[in-house]
Amino acid sequence: MTTWTTVLLACAAAYALKLAGYLVPAHWVEGERRSRVIALLPVALLAALVTVQTVAGDAGALVLDARAAALAVAVVLLLVRANFLVVVAGAAATAALLRAVGWA
């Protein structure tokens, strides 16, 4: 399978998934509890992706490097309710500085 075939299949799958979201009957997502769960699913998915990208190394090994420190700085900035751009810039600067001093 070529790269372009893979990209086109991924695009078609993403489109079909988005279309399926519009076709779901309304009564499937009604209700207070279901609405809360559905609203929090993207947050949980994003948190899982960030965690895996931060601490997972080759073959699933746990790696603590500049990414973990940058994530810690981002969490602290989020806790003090900093602007999102400040959070991103602070985390990026932390990772860059730690990598510049040799802590990859």
pTM here is: 0.65
**In b/e form, how buried is each residue of 17-37, taking b as 16+ CB within 10 angstroms?**
eeeeeeeeeeeeeeeeeeeee
Q: List C-alpha distances in Å: 50 to 28, 68, 99.
A: 29, 10, 19
Question: Is residue 61 situated within a structural domain?
Answer: no
Question: Is residue 95 situated within a structural domain?
Answer: no
Question: Is residue 7 situated within a structural domain?
Answer: yes
Our count of domains for the chain comes to 1
Question: Is residue 98 situated within a structural domain?
Answer: no
pLDDT per position in the chain (104 positions), as tens? Answer: 799 999 999 999 999 999 998 998 988 888 899 989 989 999 999 999 998 888 888 887 888 889 999 999 999 999 999 999 999 999 999 999 999 999 87
**What is the structure's pLDDT at 20?**
92
Question: Is residue 12 situated within a structural domain?
Answer: yes
Closest CA to 54 of 37, 38, 75: 75
Q: How many residues does the chain have?
A: 104
